[in-house]
Chain A
Amino acid sequence: MTTATDHTNLSRRAFLLAAGAAAGSLTLGFGTKPAAANGAANYAPFTTSTPEITSWIVIQPDDTTIIRVARSEMGQGALTALPMLVAEELECDWNKVKAEFAPPSENYSRKVAWRAKAQKGAPASHELVTHWGAMSTGGSRGTRDSQLYLRESGAMARTMLIEAAAKDWNVPTAECTAAASVITHTPSGRKTTYGKVAVAAAGITPPTRVTLKDPKTWRICGKSVRQINAPLKVNGSLAYGIDVRLPDMLYATIAQCPVFGGNIKSIDDAKIKTMPGVRQVARLTDSTVVVIADSFWQAKKALEALPITWDEGPNAKVTSASIAEFQIAGFAATNAGVTNQAGDALGAIDNAARKIEAEYHTPFLDHANMEPMNCTAKVADGKVEVWVSSQNGEAAHAAAAEAAGVKLEQVYVHKMHLGGGLGRRGSYNDPIHYAVLAAKRTNGRPVKLVYTREEDMSHGFYRPASRVIMRSGFDDKGTPTGVHIRIAGQSINAWHFPDRIKDNLDPAQANGFHKEDFGYAFPNLRVEVAMRNTHVPVGVWRSVNSSQNSFYKESFVDEMAHAAGKDPFEFRRGLLANAPKHKRVLEIAAERAGWGKPLPAGVFRGIAVENAYGSYQAVVAEVSVTDRGALKVLRIVNAIDCGHAVNTNIIEQQMQGSVVMAMSALLYGENRVDRGRVVDTNFDTYQLLRIDEVPVIENHIVPSFDFWGGIGEAGVPPIAPAICNAIFAATGKRIRSLPLKHHNLAKA
């Protein structure tokens, strides 16, 4: 089937192949029935074959239960965990569940939030603005913000299905129960299945009130459940954005001015117009040029050969060193915003019997998702279609409409699986914007825009570079009397959401230092943030500012413990009297790691605790460092309290992944800036952790059942400080800047 010498037919045949393999997500909008993906598909396109029972559930005659997911799937398990919340209350057979994305376009076109429609007059326990609610997937919010309406939808649908069966049998609903997609009339023992009564149930008015289960009685949730679409990830059939193939599709790749803020002065497109496969050389914006060709490789070769003269603008001389100097000046800035103030920290430190002070800093970091930025767009017949791996279906919808200059009604967004998100694919819609601009020039032919890795990493929205000075005073018994923290760094919100900045304070810059998440009780405390914004675009990077602030805070608290001559665990524990959830995970991690018990010769421990993105985590790290300075991270013991644990398998995956991502940043991560541009643009110098460096990771999932946390980001922040604190224990060297590759850990 794939042997093709006739190239006019090749793309059509290849499309059919890809569509079949992709389990249907590519066929959305084409009216084509999707083929099964190697018999393993547990993922379906938007289904309208049988009527909805609430907007979230479609049950087919064979009991196949399709549950819609508004959020995106980037490996964090939304496509599994969110349907579990529905299924738990629905009482369906989990093995019959398939998940599908709710389309962003329909989320908009249906206008009314499903609950408002379904539950008129009921107390609005959770406001949904659009039909299926927010599609934005980030901030570890997926479960926390949707659990209530998802569980309610399941309970409502269960009630409707039971009512349909009871009507059919002419018995009271109270005599009927449901379990595993089977409804039973208890007195008579009569049974029917969800699939048989689904159509009737869809016609029943949804109940206005439902009672939800006590999470302690969950049967599907709270367990270790495998990710629903894993079978498509082991045979290559899952379609990510970059895998889209459409009839007559063209390929494009992009160059943006390497210096942020610079523009194109001139291009000499005559030099490449006759290269094989080249269709167009298009300046999409003042700073952006694409080559559109018959294949990606042709587009890439041509773009590399294109003579471009840049007008690099005023930022062409900026370097990492000049940025450091600028941010250091923030330590003395008089306009810093203040958060979390108690007593008189400055006075207490001035009058302290003993004081310590330390300066820390961290560099810019790219997200480096394995799937490079890409988007496929088709602009034809007054309609715009985009295929994109986005963390935010609604933002993608809006971005496509804006780039095309059309109304939202004219846009259809195909949500593709993400080859990683990490924050990069949230609010930043650059590939959508450029793909649509390119597709406007190709007379209806779809264009797949793919960034090279170098282009992707040269134009990221980086974790901001930042610095901090922390000072602490102690009385003569070693008790802290005051702590003063001054952060000087770049604000993400200044770049993207300036209205979130009040009184010179971007609160996100102080993540982890706020009253709500800080945990430690100091009688005198002052946390200040001096905004020092650069020309480098910044963005949310898994765990956002917490990823750096936890390194600062938990390393400095360790310095304080040592200055006070106290055990780092006991010192923290003593300061967490008013923060029971911090304290609990700290104690659990210490206990499970055997804190205080002897270690093998040459092995040393460090500890850290954090509250980030909704959850509480403590970490004990064990390391060894040779005399020549070779570091080995041997073991990580995590204790995580995410409130309710919906799927312990996914939580464990996220914790394992968090350790790896945090260690990549700790050991290697930096995007240096020189001549106004990012220097590290591929994995040769932007190194990531490989398998041989991964420690033993033990995860203790200890939900406290009284809040809804989050798991996507919580795991990252305390890993680096726990390891650095262990390095201090091993070597006496305090790591105050990252990455570690610049530090010599050898014995002096």
Chain B
Amino acid sequence: MPFKLTINDKQHDVDVDPETPLLWVLRDTIGLTGTKYGCGIAQCGACTVHVNGDAQRSCQIAVKDVGEAKITTIEGLSPDSSHPIQKAWLAIDVPQCGYCQSGMIMAAAALLKEKTKPTSKDIDERITNLCRCGTYTRVRAAILEAAKQA
């Protein structure tokens, strides 16, 4: 079934099973592989993208339900890694293996948009993504740093 999707401010025409999760449309159909598969059950958050600005787990969104929503993936967060979260991530050297970091950054960017000065408690409540390398200490530091710079 054909769908028109707005991803990173560009329109994409795709023809896929309506039940296909947005995650796999992004990765396999469109080729935006920055959004990762980790669990498929909304636990890990590696697939986090923005849907109309909100952090959502794309493994749980059937493509038929996307409609007119504006989707932003890690590739569209900024053209040149200049988003305050990306800059703080680099300044603090957050990533280890890096696999979960797209989702982590998207979750952090959404938090920062909603609360320009998030507290450590806000981070505890809103950053629910899993990182097996254990970058959490620096994730927290980078979000607080980005909030300072923003």
What is A's interface to B at a CB cutoff of 8 Å? 2-5, 7, 10, 13-15, 17-18, 21, 38-40, 74-77, 226-227, 229-240, 242-243, 245, 251, 276, 295-298, 301, 368-372, 417-422, 450, 452-453, 649, 653, 656-661, 682-684, 688-692, 694, 697
Min CB–CB distance A240 → chain B (angstroms): 6
Min CB–CB distance B40 → chain A (angstroms): 6
A76/B100 contact (C-beta < 8 A), A3-B11, A236-B73, A242-B37 known: no
A688/B33 contact (C-beta < 8 A), A236-B102, A276-B17, A657-B96 known: no
The answer to whether B101 touches A683, judged by C-beta atoms less than 8 angstroms apart, is no
Min CB–CB distance A29 → chain B (angstroms): 19
Min CB–CB distance A696 → chain B (angstroms): 8
The answer to whether B133 touches A231, judged by C-beta atoms less than 8 angstroms apart, is no
> Once bound together, how far apart are the Cα atoms of A420 and B131, in whole Å?
10
Within B89-105, which residues are at the interface with A (CB < 8 Å)? Answer: 89-90, 93-102, 105
Quick one: which of B15, B35, B73, B80 contacts A38, CB cutoff 8 A? Answer: B80
A453/B36 contact (C-beta < 8 A), A296-B28, A653-B96 known: no
Contact partners of A689 in chain B: CB under 8 A: 134, 136
Q: In the complex, which residue of chain B has the Cβ closest to the Cβ of A227? A: B93
Query: Interface code B53-89, partner A: CB below 8 Å = 1, 0 otherwise?
Result: 0000000000000000000011101111100001001
> Once bound together, how far apart are the Cα atoms of A690 and B124, in whole Å?
8
The answer to whether B137 touches A697, judged by C-beta atoms less than 8 angstroms apart, is yes
Does B132 sit at the interface, judged by CB under 8 A?
yes
Min CB–CB distance A669 → chain B (angstroms): 12
Contact partners of B80 in chain A: CB under 8 A: 38-39
Min CB–CB distance A83 → chain B (angstroms): 16
Q: Which 7 A-B pairs have the closest CB atoms?
A: A236-B34, A660-B134, A75-B97, A419-B99, A14-B31, A233-B98, A75-B96
The answer to whether A371 touches B99, judged by C-beta atoms less than 8 angstroms apart, is yes
A417/B13 contact (C-beta < 8 A), A2-B31, A370-B36, A683-B43 known: no
Min CB–CB distance A255 → chain B (angstroms): 15
Contact partners of A233 in chain B: CB under 8 A: 95, 98, 101
Min CB–CB distance B149 → chain A (angstroms): 15
The answer to whether B124 touches A370, judged by C-beta atoms less than 8 angstroms apart, is no
Does B117 sit at the interface, judged by CB under 8 A?
no
Contact partners of A452 in chain B: CB under 8 A: 40
Does B127 sit at the interface, judged by CB under 8 A?
yes
Residues of B in contact (CB 8 Å), total 67
The answer to whether A683 touches B130, judged by C-beta atoms less than 8 angstroms apart, is yes
The answer to whether A417 touches B97, judged by C-beta atoms less than 8 angstroms apart, is yes
Contact partners of B112 in chain A: CB under 8 A: none
Query: Could you list 9 further interchain pairs (A-B, Cβ under 8 angstroms) beyond the known A4-B13, A21-B34, A690-B129?
Result: A3-B13, A234-B90, A238-B98, A370-B44, A372-B38, A453-B38, A683-B38, A683-B43, A689-B134
Does B110 sit at the interface, judged by CB under 8 A?
no
What is B's interface to A at a CB cutoff of 8 Å? 10-13, 15-17, 20-21, 24, 27-41, 43-44, 46, 73-75, 77-81, 86, 89-90, 93-102, 105, 123-125, 127-140
Contact partners of A75 in chain B: CB under 8 A: 95-98, 133
Quick one: which of B13, B36, B86 contacts A234, CB cutoff 8 A? Answer: B86
Quick one: which of A39, A235, A419, A656 contacts B134, CB cutoff 8 A? Answer: A656
Quick one: which of A232, A297, A371 contacts B17, CB cutoff 8 A? Answer: A297
> Once bound together, how far apart are the Cα atoms of A243 and B28, in whole Å?
9
Min CB–CB distance B6 → chain A (angstroms): 11
Min CB–CB distance B2 → chain A (angstroms): 8
> Once bound together, how far apart are the Cα atoms of A226 and B94, in whole Å?
9
A238, A245, A251, A368: most-surrounded residue (chain B CB, <10 A): A238
Min CB–CB distance A5 → chain B (angstroms): 5
Contact partners of A13 in chain B: CB under 8 A: 31
A74/B97 contact (C-beta < 8 A), A4-B13, A5-B13, A296-B24 known: yes
> Once bound together, how far apart are the Cα atoms of A102 and B135, in whole Å?
28
> Once bound together, how far apart are the Cα atoms of A245 and B34, in whole Å?
13
Contact partners of A298 in chain B: CB under 8 A: 17
Contact partners of B73 in chain A: CB under 8 A: 236
> Once bound together, how far apart are the Cα atoms of A653 and B21, in whole Å?
34
> Once bound together, how far apart are the Cα atoms of A296 and B40, in whole Å?
12
> Once bound together, how far apart are the Cα atoms of A74 and B123, in whole Å?
26
Min CB–CB distance B61 → chain A (angstroms): 13
The answer to whether B37 touches A417, judged by C-beta atoms less than 8 angstroms apart, is no
> Once bound together, how far apart are the Cα atoms of A419 and B31, in whole Å?
18
Quick one: which of A38, A230, A659 contacts B95, CB cutoff 8 A? Answer: A230
Min CB–CB distance A7 → chain B (angstroms): 7
> Once bound together, how far apart are the Cα atoms of A275 and B28, in whole Å?
18
The answer to whether A420 touches B75, judged by C-beta atoms less than 8 angstroms apart, is no
Quick one: which of A40, A230, A245, A417 contacts B93, CB cutoff 8 A? Answer: A230
6 A/B residue pairs, CB under 8 Å, sorted by A: A77-B96, A235-B74, A236-B73, A236-B102, A296-B24, A656-B134
Contact partners of B78 in chain A: CB under 8 A: 235
The answer to whether B99 touches A420, judged by C-beta atoms less than 8 angstroms apart, is yes
The answer to whether B13 touches A691, judged by C-beta atoms less than 8 angstroms apart, is no
Q: In the complex, which residue of chain B has the Cβ closest to the Cβ of A658? A: B134
> Once bound together, how far apart are the Cα atoms of A216 and B49, in whole Å?
47
> Once bound together, how far apart are the Cα atoms of A368 and B130, in whole Å?
11
The answer to whether A18 touches B81, judged by C-beta atoms less than 8 angstroms apart, is no
Q: In the complex, which residue of chain B has the Cβ closest to the Cβ of A542? A: B132
The answer to whether B33 touches A236, judged by C-beta atoms less than 8 angstroms apart, is yes
Contact partners of A276 in chain B: CB under 8 A: 17
> Once bound together, how far apart are the Cα atoms of A688 and B44, in whole Å?
9
The answer to whether A656 touches B81, judged by C-beta atoms less than 8 angstroms apart, is no
Contact partners of B46 in chain A: CB under 8 A: 370
The answer to whether B33 touches A657, judged by C-beta atoms less than 8 angstroms apart, is no
The answer to whether A417 touches B98, judged by C-beta atoms less than 8 angstroms apart, is yes
> Once bound together, how far apart are the Cα atoms of A3 and B40, in whole Å?
26
